[in-house]
Amino acid sequence: MSSWGLKNRLARIIKPQTGRTVMLAVDHGYFLGPTSGLEKPGETIEPLVQFADCLMLTRGVLRSSVDTAVDVPIVLRVSGGTSILKELSNEGRFTAIEDAIRLNASGLALSIFVGAEGERETLLNLAALVDEGEKYGIPVLAVTAVGKEMARDTRYLGLCCRIAAELGVHLVKTYYCENFEKIVNSCPVPVVIAGGKKVPEMEALQLAFNAVRDGASGVDMGRNIFQSEAPVAMIQAVRSVVHERATPEQAYDLYESLKNGS
Ligand code: 5RP
């Protein structure tokens, strides 16, 4: 079976020019409901999409809130089925591969919960999704989460990333932590980081800088972009770190000047 399609889709997500990506994550509603900054997803996405290398979102938001003429690769979240009111790790699949193909997805994203109640189920769901992705040439991104009582450190996040890679994924998303390079070095597929909770812009730019410095292939960032005081300025500042190797200080200067329209 030819892997040309899969590689081509992956190259739409991770830009070959730099080997990196700025993914815009706007999938939070699938378990959080109307997240702050994403109450009207279409209005949030519209000004940002031109600066995103790809969008990570659910089919519901894609269909309802993204213009079909927009030329942006889609990484479609296909796992969920739980809410913040219940045990989050009990996720299942909510989108069939046929629908992902109809939606022209460039990638599929599924969460795994290592060390949590849903560990086995989510890992086996991931493996099944990789089989389907391989069949149709669509790469799979594993979104890694660890049990509530586990530290987000190299031991647990590293375990999670490596397991995802062993199950066959093409890309892993995890959190940045101390000694992050250990995670990257023990994970044989590209790693991108989530931004996490909103922090001041300079801190978020420092996080992105540290991650790519330590070997990440980019970011899959949500709240630190769309909850920023100036989201359009912020995504461009993040891009400068990821693709142009700007320092956090240079990127922050860019953020300030774009925000102030100078
Ligand atoms: C949740 C997700 C989110 O997309 C992810 O957390 C990225 O967003 P943020 O940068 O806001 O953390 O996959 O499972």
Domain encompassing residue 144: 4-227
pLDDT in the model for residue 101 = 98
Per-run averaged pLDDT (10 residues), the chain, 262 residues: 89 98 98 96 98 98 98 98 94 98 98 96 98 98 88 93 98 97 98 97 98 98 98 98 98 98 82
Distance in angstroms between the alpha carbons of the first and the last residue of the chain: 52
- Give a yes or no: residue 255 inside a domain: no
| pLDDT given at position 2 | 67
- For 126, other C-beta atoms within 10 Å of its C-beta total 23
Q: What is the pLDDT of residue 170?
A: 98
The identity of residue 13, as a single letter, is I
pLDDT at 196: 95
Q: Which whole-number Å values give the CA distances from 227 to 37, 75, 230, in the listed order?
A: 5, 21, 8
Domain assignment of residue 188, yes or no: yes
Q: Looking at the domain assignment, is residue 254 inside a domain?
A: no
Probe target for ligand 1 pocket from 84, 143, 175, 177, with the most ligand atoms within 8 Å of CB: 143
Q: Say if 241 falls within a structural domain.
A: no
In a domain, 40, yes or no: yes
Q: Which of 48, 114, 174, 223 maximizes ligand 1 atoms within 8 Å of its Cβ, making it the mutation to test the pocket?
A: 223
Q: Measured between alpha carbons, how far is 111 from 205 in angstroms, rounded to an integer?
A: 25
2 Cα–ligand 1 center, Å: 32
Distance 221 CA to ligand 1 centre (A): 7
Task: Note whether residue 217 is domain-resident.
Answer: yes
The CA 26 to ligand 1 mean position distance, Å, reads 8
Q: Is 197 a catalytic residue?
A: no
- Residue 189 belongs to a domain: yes
262 occurs within a structural domain: no
Residue nearest atom 1 of ligand 1, based on CA coordinates: 28
Catalytic residue among 7, 86, 135, 173: 173
Distance (angstroms) between ligand 1 centre and the Cα of 77 equals 11
Q: What does the angle CA 177 – CA 13 – CA 192 come to, to the nearest 5 degrees?
A: 5
Tell me which residue of 23, 68, 4, 10 sits closest to 42, measured CA to CA. Answer: 68
Residues whose beta carbon lies within 6 Å of some atom of ligand 1: 25, 27-28, 56, 111, 143, 194-196, 220-224
**Domain containing residue 63: CATH number:** 3.20.20.70
The pLDDT value given to residue 149 = 82
Residue in 163, 164, 161, 166 with CA at minimum distance from that of residue 215: 161
State the total domains in the chain.
1
Distance 32 CA to ligand 1 centre (A): 11
Which of 220, 224, 226 is the best mutation target for the ligand 1 pocket, counting ligand atoms within 8 Å of the beta carbon and taking the most? 220
